[in-house]
Each structure stands twice: as C-alpha cells, then as structure tokens.
Chain A
Amino acid sequence: MAMNYNAKDEVDGGPPCAPGATAKNRRPDNTAFKQQRLPAWQPILTAGTVLPTFFIIGLIFIPIGIGIFVTSNNIREIEIDYTGTDPSSPCNKCLSPNVTPCICTINFTLEQSFEGNVFMYYGLSNFYQNHRRYVKSRDDSQLNGDSSALLNPSKECEPYRRNEDKPIAPCGAIANSMFNDTLELFLVGNESYPTPIPLKKKGIAWWTDKNVKFRNPPGEQSLEERFKGTTNPVNWVKPVYMLDSEPDNNGFINEDFIVWMRTAALPTFRKLYRLIERKSDLHPTLPAGRYYLNITYNYPVHSFDGRKRMILSTISWMGGKNPFLGIAYIAIGSISFLLGVVLLVINHKYRNSSNTADITI
C-alpha cells in the first residue's frame, strides 16, 4: 500500500478533522468571484435580436458598398504596358541588351480628362519582391546612416555586400535591383510641339521613411565625402550620392530609392513614381487628348518574364481604384438582408411547432 506522504499532513495532523484544530473558520469567502456569481451578459439569440441584426447589417452595408463602388468607379486610371515583348511595340528594340541607352516612345490617348492630383506609378509583374531572401537582403542600419554599417554592411546583404573589397552602399539585393527606367510624359496638343507634363519627384515617400528611417551618413562634408570608401551596387551606373541633383533628395534619402526599398507584398505591384499636381481649379490636370510616354529603357525584366507598366491614376478619399471592397460590402449586405428574410419566414413557420415538443431528459 503506497501512500502519498506529505510532511504537511504530519505537521498539521491532517487537514480537516484534526482534533486540536484551532477555531479558524475555513468557510470559503462569499464573493461573487469565488462563488462564480459574477454578473454576466448572456446573449440569448432570439428572433427578436437576430432578425433585426441581419436587417440592420444589410441596410448599413449596402449603402456603404454602393458609396465605395461609385467612388472607386469615378477614379480615372490608365495602364500602359511598355515591356516591349510584342514585336510591334516601340520598346521591342530595347529588349536586346546591346542598345544602350535605349529610348522608346509610346503614344496613348486619354478619353477623359484627369482632374485633381494625378499619381504616376510604375508597375512590375512577376517580380518577387516578397521573396524571403530578397526581403532580408538589406541593412537598415546602413540606410539609417550608421557609419560602421556603412563600411561594414550586414551579412544579410550577401552576395551584394562587397564589390572588389569595397563595401557596397546601399548593400543588398533590394537596392541592387532598384528600378531605373526614366519615364517622361508629354501632351501632344494642337500646337506643333508637345508639352512636357511637370512631374514632381518629391513627396512620394512616407514621411517617416524620409525623415526617420532613411538617413545619409552623418557629417558636414559633401555627400560624396561621406560615402567615401564605399562603392555603388553592381547593377547601378551611378553611385548613391549621385541619384539626384537636389541635396535633400540624394543619397539614401532619395525618394525613388526609398519607395523601392519598401518591398511589395505581392509579385504584381505598382510603386508611386511621380506626382502630377493640380494646377488650378479651372483646368484639368491632364486634359483629354493624345499623350506620349518617353521611356529610357534600362530595367531588364524580360529574362524572368516580368512585365513593366506605367499607370496614371487619380485618387479619392479612400485611395486608388479598388472595386473589390465596394462589391464585397454590397454582397455581404445583400446576403445578410436575404438571410434576414429567410429567417423571418422560417421563424414564422417553425417556431410554433417546436414549442410543442416535449422535453425529454
């Protein structure tokens, strides 16, 4: 016979029926918590609560959905694929790596004028910016202006960490693969010569990225001096301190660079390229008419079946064109409403019959 020996029992002489036990009252406290009598909300689903819920959801969701859908539909958007895989495409010649620099021009027509601020994007397809090794291949310390990381980038940047014994700045596969096509937009007016559309290249990155996350190496010298001892990424023609002429848009805080460094979640993505600001209330930003897109074609995507696009879009209060959300709201609103109706009918038909059933225990 094995027993649970517990020294405590020997000490106390056993818990309850100890003869000489003091008159300490062991009655448990009468608190709501200990007696499991906490006030509680017990939602009991009855016809009176469920049916109105369904109808109300339907009545709220459908108008919201319609609103979103209409807003989304009012957004003007045009997409132009300029990859040049089609032999008839003007950019087809640029597929061969021999033509450098390769400039091609694509004509297009805006049927309707674009009002308000217009956003110019470049879009890539089949480009796996979300690949784990790609996503990891960066050094945020370096981009944050850390001088030691500048000269000694993180191992994650391999194989774009050093080139010819010089540390690469900015290191890593992301930076190395930075999009480097140049896109220019011209309006072919009635005049004999086309008007270039002014493209604003600042204000396209998040404020936090531009001001906090990305910083040039510290120092009072010129940017070139501060990046001394580093080399440019393998694919880059220019070093990082020559990305732009303006000092507040150069080096790591170049906004095109910052936008590129925020990797896309899906293999088909678009990134903001330029802003076309509204000029005045009277004239549309981009009036309807013929335009041409001038492309300095540098970025090779043909090898992996990638596609390149240029997108022009206006925005609304809820961002860019997104028909899905509106449709989803309308669909769920309708389903909920329909369910409400069905439940109402069923409830009327069956409720009474189930009442008469006996309780069998």
Chain B
Amino acid sequence: MSLFESESEDRQNEEQVRYLQANSRELNIVFGYPNNTIKTSRYNVFNFLPLNLFEQFQRLANAYFLILLFLQLIPQISSLAWYTTVIPLLVVLSITAVKDAIDDMKRHQNDNQVNNRSVMVVMNGRIKEDKWMNIQVGDIIKLKNNQSVTADVLLLSSSEPYGLTYIETAELDGETNLKVKQAISVTSNLEDNLGLLSAFDGKVKCESPNNKLDKFTGILTYKGKNYLLNHDKLLLRGCVIRNTDWCYGLVIYTGPDTKLMQNCGKSTFKRTHMDHLLNVLVLWIFLFLGSMCFILAIGHGIWEHKKGYYFQSFLPWKKYVSSSVASAILIFWSYFIILNTMVPISLYVSVEIIRLGNSCYINWDRKMFYAPKNTPARARTTTLNEELGQVKYVFSDKTGTLTQNIMVFNKCSINGIFYGGVYKNEQNVDVSDEREKVDFSYNKLADPKFSFYDKTLVEAVKTGDRWVHLFFLSLSLCHTVMSEEKVEGNLVYQAQSPDEGALVTAARNFGFVFCSRTSETIMVVEMGETKVYQLLAILDFNNVRKRMSVIVRTPEDRVMLFCKGADTILCQLLHPSCRSLRDVTMEHLDDFAVEGLRTLMVAYRELDNAFFQAWSKRHSEACLSLENREDKISDVYEEIEKDLMLLGATAIEDKLQDGVPETIATLNKAKIKIWVLTGDKQETAVNIAYACNIFEDEMDGMFIVEGKNDETIRQELRSARDKMKPEALLESDPVNIYLTTKPQMSFRLPEEVPNGNYGLIINGCSLAYALEGNLELELLRTACMCKGVICCRMTPLQKAQVVELVKRYKKVVTLAIGDGANDVSMIKAAHIGVGISGQEGMQAMLNSDYAFSQFHYLQRLLLVHGRWSYNRMCKFLSYFFYKNFAFTLVHFWYAFFSGFSAQTVYDTWFITFYNLVYTCLPVLGLSLFDQIALDTTYWTIISHIFTWGSLGFYFCILFFLYSDGLCLMFPNVFQFLGVARNTLNLPQIWLSIVLSVVLCILPVIGYQFFKPLFWPANVDKIIDRIHQCTRPLLPLPKRTKLKHASTRRSAYAFSHKQGFGALITSGKTMKSKVFKKKQLSF
C-alpha cells in the first residue's frame, strides 16, 4: 500500500490540472492516467518475502532475535547453538507470514473480482462489453439501473428528462436516501444516440484527483463553447444508479484516482493499553536482561581473576583473551544470548492468536445474532478485545442506536378526539402482540407491515367521519414523498425522513393511498376511489418555518391548503374559531409528549380561487426575484399560511430498540457512564434519555447548559458543580490543588464523587464554547460528576471532540457507538468504535471495530466478551512471563556454580522447544478457554488435552532427541544420549518432581483459601450464598416505570432537511413519457 501510495502521490504532485478528451484514447494516453484497476493488495509473488520480512523485523522482539542470531554466529561469544533462536524465530515469522499471505490473497481475489466486472463501453458507434479494469480516462460508458458506478464519471445523458440521474451513495457517505445528479443540457441532448455519443469529442479540464467527495470543478469545452462542471454532474465510483433506466458518462477519474480510492487512507491503527503495556514490559525486560548480564559479567571477571586464572592448567584462556576483563566483556554477550528466553519471542504471536480467538467467539456468539436481519455480530478489529473489558465511558448516538429509527404512527387526535390509546384496567398497556391488530383487509393497498390497535379510528374512517377523512387526506397530500410501484399494487415510498414515511403510510392504510405524483398532480386512491389532485404549490419545510404546506385543487375544483408542522408554530397560525379545539388538542399533545412521542399538528385552509391566483402571482414573482429571494419567498408563504383550521395532531413513536433501558441500567451498575451525543434536538433527546434510563425521574437535579458565551457557560457549569459537590469549588479541594500544581502537563483528572444523581444537558452551540480553551476542564469535571450526560445538536466533529476530551483528561477507555455517517468521527476517535448496522447505511459499520445490529448486545460485548478477554489476557501475560522467567532465571542461579561461564543448565533442544512446543499450548488453552464466571479456574476438556498433551509431548520429544539413532547420526548435535533413560530410572527424580509440584501448589491453595476468609470479594460472597442454597437469590428489584408527571414536550420532530419540494414542482423529477400516458388515460 505504502509503495503504491507514494507512487500515486508523485504523480499527483506533477499533475496540477487534468486534461482529457472524450473518445480519444490516443490523446489521453499521453498523460499517463492509470487504468481503472484497483489494487488493495499489498504484495505480489516476488516482493512478498522481502517486504513481509522487512515489515516483521520492524517489531522490537523480532529485530532483537535477528541481532541475537548474528551474535550467535560469533564463535567467541556464542554460548548456544545457532538453532536455539533460529527455529523459534522461523516458526514465528512463518506463522505471521502465512497469515499475511492469506489476508493478501483474499484481497487479491476481491480486487480481481471487482476489476473483472463487466461494463458497457461506447466504442465507434457500438456498445462493447469490457472489464472494469480496462476502462480508460476519456471513455464513454453506459450504466444501467441498480448498477454500481465503475469510475468517477461525468454524467452526459440519461433516460430521465433533463438528464437527471438518481443515485444512492450509501457506500460513500452512508446516506441511503436518493440523490439527484443532472447532466448539462448540451450533453443530455445526446441521449442514447450511439453515433452522437461516439462522435462526442468534448475536452475536459478539471482538477487533479483529490479526496473531497463534495467538490469538483472543471470545464467542458465542446464545439468551441465552455461549460462549467461541478460535483452535481459527477457520478462517483461506489454509488449505485437508482430509478434511472440508463445513463451515459464520460470517465474522468479511474482506479486509484477515484474519490472512493483517494478516500481510503490508511486506517489509523488503534493500539490498546495492553499493546502499550506489552511494549513497556518488553523494554523493562530488556533493561532487566541487560543488568543481569552486567552482574554476571562482573561475576565472571572476578571469578576468572580469582579462580579461572589458576585453573589454566586444565582450562587455558583463549588466545584472544588477555585478561579477566576481556573475558568478562565477552561473557556479557554470551549471557545476553543465553538469557534470550526471557524476551518473549512468541509473545506477540500468542497475543494475536488469543485476540483472534476471542474475536471469533464474538463472531460466533448466538446471543449477539439478530435473526430478523440475519446479522451476526462482527469483530472487525481483532486487536481490541481486552480493551472491551475496561470501558469506562460509552458515547452513544441516539437515532438508530438507542432508537430503531423506525417511526411508527402511534396515536392521533382528530378534531379533539383521541385515537390510538388503548386502556386496560385504567392502566396504559405497552404495545404488545397480545392485543388484536386492526384489520385493514378492506383496503387492498394497505401496507401489511403497518399495525394499529385502536378500532375506533377505523370505525370512524368507515363511517365516513368528515374530519377523519380530511385529516388523512391531508396526510396523504402534504408531503414530499416519492412513490415507486415496483410490483403491481405494491407501493414503495421514498421519504426524506422516516417521520414523513410513517405519516403517509398511516394515511395509506386507513384508506387514503398516495399512489403517484407528477409535477402538477397527486394521485390518491381515496377509499378505493382514484382521485387526482392538482398540485398548485409546495411550500417546503425549512428549519425556521418548521412546517410545510401544499396547495391543491381538488377534483371538486376547490383550492385547499394543507399544512403540517410543529405545534408551537402552528398554534399561532390557527383561525380564532378553533380555539377550543386547539386547547383540547394541546392537551392531547401533552399526553403524547409525556410518552416520548414525536408530535405534529395538521391543519387546512380552504382558499378563495381569486385570492389564490393573486397569491400565486406574488409567489412566482418572489421566486423570480434575484435579491433576498429566500426572505421574499418565506414572506409570501406566511401570507397564505394563516387562519388555518385545525384538523388534529399526530404522534409518532420513535421506537426504542429492544432492551435498551435494561442494558443501560446494567451498564450503569458496572460503573460505566453513558453519554448521549446526538444531532437531534434537546427535547427529543431528553425524552429518549428518560425513556431509556439514562435520566431517571427520581434524580436529584438536572442541569441545562445553554449559554451563548463563555461567561454564562462557566457560571452554569460552576453552579451545577456547586450543587453536586459544594466543596469542589473551594480552593482547598484536592482536585483544584492538583490542577493548580500540575500545569500544562498531560495529567489525569481524578474522579470526583457528587452527592447524588444528577443529569447534564448541553447543546451543541454551548458546547462549541465549552470545548474551547479553559472551559474544557470545567465542562469535563461537571459532566463527569453527572450520572447521565446528553449533548444535543452536535455536529459530527463535536462528537469526536467530546470523545477526545474525555480520552485526554480522564485517561480511561472510551467506547463510541453509533449507526450513521455522522457518528463516524466519534467512532474513530474513541478507543473502541462500535457500529450498529441499522437504517442509516453502513458508513458507521465500515469504520467501526465491532459491528452488530442491536444496542443491547453492547451489554454482552462489554460484560461478557470484554471481561473474559481482559481477564484472559491478564492471566495469559502473568502465566507467560512467569514461565519465561522461571525458565531463564535458573541460568542466573547456575552462573554462581559454573564460574559465570554462560554454561546452560538445559540442553539446547530444550531451550529451542520450551517456548515453542512444550509450554505454548497450555498457556494458549488458559487464555482461550478460561472463564471467570466465579473467579475459579475453568478447565475444559481442551485445557486438559493441552496440558497433559504438552507433558506427554515433552517426553516423546525427549526420548526421540536422546535416542541412539540420532546420536549416531549426529554425535556432536545430539550429545545427550542416555541421559533421559538413566536419570528417569532413579527414584530421586520422581520424588523430587512430586515434592516440587506440591511445594508450588500448596501456597497457592492456601492463599486462595485464606483470601475469601479475610479479604472477601463480592464474588466469594456470591459463591457462599450459592453454596448455602438455603434461600434462592433474591431477584433484583425490577424498576417500576413511573409515569412522568412533568410536561416534557417533544417539539417538531421532523426531518431537518429540506424536502424534494422544489424539484417536484419544477417537474424535473417526473418521467415525461409516463406523465403523457397517464394524462391520456384520465
């Protein structure tokens, strides 16, 4: 990758502006643009070995062993046979190399598959099929509906009028809604005329390849005229063509130059605390090793001086050794070699295997499999498992993460009558399957997935209640939803926001089916009767207006305005005559809000034809005005949106995901703090926070930070802290002292304990101030004392900033969980990123470390997999270092008896195989199968096989290595013939083994037994209880849901994007031919 990147960078540096000409490969070849091949693989057959080895030797331990190998080749200091380090090193290197090779082969396969997909290319007036990789800059290609875009292409023409093309960009930015691209008119006239297309010789001058998805500038020169190109004309690789039969495009960027590939930078490698610890440990081991070698070298010097010198009659010094000092210097290196077993060569490999194993467990976990979507949990990163067990802060998105992002039309109030509430024994019963769903069989076009439980509403529809009919008619007319009828009778709605979709679907089920729309008409099937409304105007939504209206001419030739919008806004626009109705409806709205429903008010107005005509004129004038057009238009809108007649209100349930409140309660018990970071509005966010247990009704206080400047925010934060922990503001507070004494250094903010349960709500605007400068710490201290924190109106960047803030000053493990493209930054910023594969595309998932489809799986991920992984890793490290130290320190001890001569106690083969063969499986077994459910050792059958198998294996190898045959073949290498036979025959050996085993185990058993008696942990008490078994464990008190009495109102919970309104009325989106046909049929 790195090679390839630098290559393309070089070329980019040269290429400032890109020139190309359509249909002219000869000319474009001059510039040397790459073809459309993509390459995500790292190696090929020839460079695999050198490149891979080079990468592997960048690891400290591997490099150390390489150095060791060279040291061993120096005969003067070589204290061990060369194979003692070469064999383990080779094994470790080859395991890693094989893994890398397999990974890369997969990448090669994927690359090949993508590169070999076929695409239609226009060549000399004919359409030719070619492979993706053969596409060149300047080619004209044809794309069909539902096809992926092959390269970054300039849209030339399409099957739709005005050269419009719909695309879905889920893969690029995660947004699943359709986007519209439009070709410039001069090229859209080419249509699908192959002759014209292949004669097209436009020249394009555009910017060089870059990674900005929403930016593109260029100039098309065609027939002597210049046309300006922008990103609206560019179809990017990775997009999918939707709702467009065909389109033609001119290839601008290919392969590695495409915006998609330019964006796939190296993902930042997340390192865990454990990785850091490992490196520190290895460094300490090096130091320890060095000091041991030093001590032994000094010992050797003294020994040679005092004894060795006189022992020369039997063991003369080597020629090159002039004095005991020289000998000591050599022995330093000899011991450096001998004690190498202390540096754990197999450590990194073992750690990787353990992490891989624990990731597999996550992938295999049926309890994290979501059957409705057929989605198992996926550990996309295998290196973070043990970090999961240390999470202290969870940052969660709201929409799609805590909630399902499925809007369900739940209740409504029509003309002062409340529908949808089902009461049983005067208790509000949650929606469950026990109750009977309303039968919509009278309506052929009903959406079978829709369910509603209040029969009275259907009765009302059937009896033809005027208000109810009007209410649903307005819902079926006042929106910007597009419909698609893929199969006869099966309507599919494409909505800008799920709220709108829910409303239109509700209307459809109650018998007011929105069928299709053209730029001037809306076709509605009203109780089985097809009616066509003339669409006169769409007064689209925006954030200021918080409402939208449509003006239609009914088949009865009445001009009607239907409006829906936020209750706070709409209230003021109502006709005075419906005041009493308004009061009733407002009461209902309060009820809705208490339940956390998202509410909308619906109203209508019948317009005088003349009045409308006059208004329409003003409207067109406003639309055509060049100055302050937006303001003028909204003024015009306000002229007509008044004196509205109230129809009713809708309540949409933003459904919580299953088990969210329980999960949050459990995580809270585990002292994990949960902050909600959402782009949504404060009211909605707070409602959801209450619904899912982040805030509780019995909390001691709630602080809302909404200041608009530094000083007010500081005051707000300080007063909050004053209430939570009055002494926290005093000079004498230890944290304050700590902060004043430790300036500017990277420090860790200590934990502060408040005097109760508090909640903090802060909105994005205030947060922008709070995140700056010296307010940072104020914010963090206050926020960390609260039980729950809600940050609303957050930009994606702010989400990441909050995560960074906690990471920086708290030095704890953070986890971010989200599902949308706006969560990507925070997912990447946090130590662990979790992606929910949900409604909002898969951008979050692609950037996450773990992905699953339900929020409540987080509990199992953290408290089961995380805890197990963490414990396993800790045990593994202890075990691993223990065995290596126990093994190696023997040499230190033996030095005092062997004249510090670097003589080994073990034979070389034992040293070679110790880490690699004899002891690796029991350690791995422990760290893969141990479960610390009750703080005891967990011995599965595999642990047994590993342990006893390793012992047996040891004896097999022992007898093999010490056998006659090997000794006779290589007497110098296998010189320990007969040792095993002769020693293992002695009873002392076995008596000593039994003795040492018992001696090692006794203290541990004694300690384990003493510990619960004197220092009982909770686990021990629980075990105790279980053992007593006199009474069953008390079930944890179930939180009773209190009805919240306060008036939390969810305000206008509507999509904050502008709809398709302008496009619809401009007529651009309508299929002209279809339109004609339909007109004929009317």
Contact A40 B843 (CB under 8 A): no
Is residue A14 contacting chain B, with contact meaning CB distance below 8 A? yes
- Given that A206-B982, A319-B988 are contacting pairs, would A57 and B1002 also be in contact in the complex, using a CB cutoff of 8 Å? yes
Contact B1009 A1 (CB under 8 A): no
- Given that A11-B113, A40-B940, A146-B971 are contacting pairs, would A346 and B374 also be in contact in the complex, using a CB cutoff of 8 Å? no
Interface SS, B side: helix
Among residues of A, the one whose C-beta sits closest to the C-beta of B319 is: A159
- Given that A68-B991, A332-B998 are contacting pairs, would A6 and B365 also be in contact in the complex, using a CB cutoff of 8 Å? no
Instruction: Tell me the minimal C-beta distance from A279 to chain B in angstroms.
Output: 27
Instruction: Tell me the minimal C-beta distance from B530 to chain A in angstroms.
Output: 30
Bound form: Cα–Cα A155–B972 in Å: 12
Q: Point out the residues of chain B lying under 8 angstroms from A358, CB to CB.
A: 1021
Contact B307 A318 (CB under 8 A): no
Is residue B47 contacting chain A, with contact meaning CB distance below 8 A? no
Contact partner, A46, options B310, B361, B365, B1027, Cβ 8 Å: B1027
Contact with B along A62-99 (1 / 0, CB 8 A): 00100010000000000000000000000000000000
Contact A354 B988 (CB under 8 A): no
Bound form: Cα–Cα A225–B61 in Å: 54
Contact with B along A1-31 (1 / 0, CB 8 A): 1111111111100111100010011111110
Bound form: Cα–Cα A347–B938 in Å: 25
Contact B967 A213 (CB under 8 A): yes
Segment 344-387 of B: residues with Cβ below 8 Å from A: 360-361, 363-366, 369, 371, 373-376, 378
Segment 547-586 of B: residues with Cβ below 8 Å from A: none
Bound form: Cα–Cα A139–B973 in Å: 10
Is residue B401 contacting chain A, with contact meaning CB distance below 8 A? no
Bound form: Cα–Cα A126–B898 in Å: 10
Contact B263 A2 (CB under 8 A): yes
Among residues of A, the one whose C-beta sits closest to the C-beta of B1022 is: A359
Is residue A329 contacting chain B, with contact meaning CB distance below 8 A? yes
The segment out of A102-110, A130-138, A182-190, A285-293 that lies at the interface is A130-138
Number of interface residues of A (CB under 8 A): 102
Contact B995 A3 (CB under 8 A): no
- Given that A140-B971, A325-B988, A343-B1009 are contacting pairs, would A132 and B941 also be in contact in the complex, using a CB cutoff of 8 Å? no
Is residue A177 contacting chain B, with contact meaning CB distance below 8 A? yes
Is residue A212 contacting chain B, with contact meaning CB distance below 8 A? yes
Contact partner, A7, options B113, B669, B1024, Cβ 8 Å: B113
Instruction: Tell me the minimal C-beta distance from B100 to chain A in angstroms.
Output: 16
Contact A28 B1013 (CB under 8 A): no
Is residue B402 contacting chain A, with contact meaning CB distance below 8 A? no
Bound form: Cα–Cα A335–B995 in Å: 13
Contact partner, B995, options A5, A36, A300, A328, Cβ 8 Å: A328
Contact A27 B371 (CB under 8 A): yes
Bound form: Cα–Cα A145–B647 in Å: 112
Instruction: Tell me the minimal C-beta distance from B381 to chain A in angstroms.
Output: 10
Contact B931 A322 (CB under 8 A): no
Number of interface residues of B (CB under 8 A): 113
The segment out of B219-227, B687-695, B899-907 that lies at the interface is B899-907
Contact partner, A3, options B106, B264, B316, Cβ 8 Å: B264
Instruction: Tell me the minimal C-beta distance from A212 to chain B in angstroms.
Output: 5
Segment 601-626 of B: residues with Cβ below 8 Å from A: none
Contact with A along B177-211 (1 / 0, CB 8 A): 00000000000000000000000000000000001
Q: Point out the residues of chain A lying under 8 angstroms from B824, CB to CB.
A: 1, 3
Q: Point out the residues of chain A lying under 8 angstroms from B938, CB to CB.
A: 40-42
Among residues of A, the one whose C-beta sits closest to the C-beta of B380 is: A4
Segment 17-61 of A: residues with Cβ below 8 Å from B: 17, 21, 24-30, 34-36, 38-47, 50, 53-54, 57, 61
Contact B267 A173 (CB under 8 A): no
Bound form: Cα–Cα A293–B633 in Å: 128
Contact B964 A42 (CB under 8 A): no
Q: Point out the residues of chain B lying under 8 angstroms from A30, CB to CB.
A: 366
Q: Point out the residues of chain A lying under 8 angstroms from B992, CB to CB.
A: 325
Instruction: Tell me the minimal C-beta distance from B917 to chain A in angstroms.
Output: 24
Is residue B323 contacting chain A, with contact meaning CB distance below 8 A? no
Contact A40 B366 (CB under 8 A): no
- Given that A14-B171, A16-B853, A30-B366 are contacting pairs, would A303 and B1002 also be in contact in the complex, using a CB cutoff of 8 Å? no
Instruction: Tell me the minimal C-beta distance from B147 to chain A in angstroms.
Output: 11
Segment 940-975 of B: residues with Cβ below 8 Å from A: 940-943, 964, 967-968, 971-972, 975
Instruction: Tell me the minimal C-beta distance from B610 to chain A in angstroms.
Output: 50
- Given that A5-B261, A132-B79, A213-B971 are contacting pairs, would A354 and B1012 also be in contact in the complex, using a CB cutoff of 8 Å? yes
Instruction: List 7 additional contacts besides A7-B114, A17-B375, A304-B313; criterion CB under 8 Å.
Output: A15-B378, A41-B940, A45-B936, A68-B991, A128-B898, A141-B971, A304-B307
- Closest A-B pairs by Cβ, 3 of them: A5-B264, A208-B978, A2-B265
Cross-chain pairs A/B with CB under 8 angstroms, 13 sampled: A4-B267, A14-B845, A14-B846, A39-B941, A42-B938, A134-B314, A140-B972, A208-B964, A265-B897, A318-B986, A319-B986, A325-B995, A354-B1024
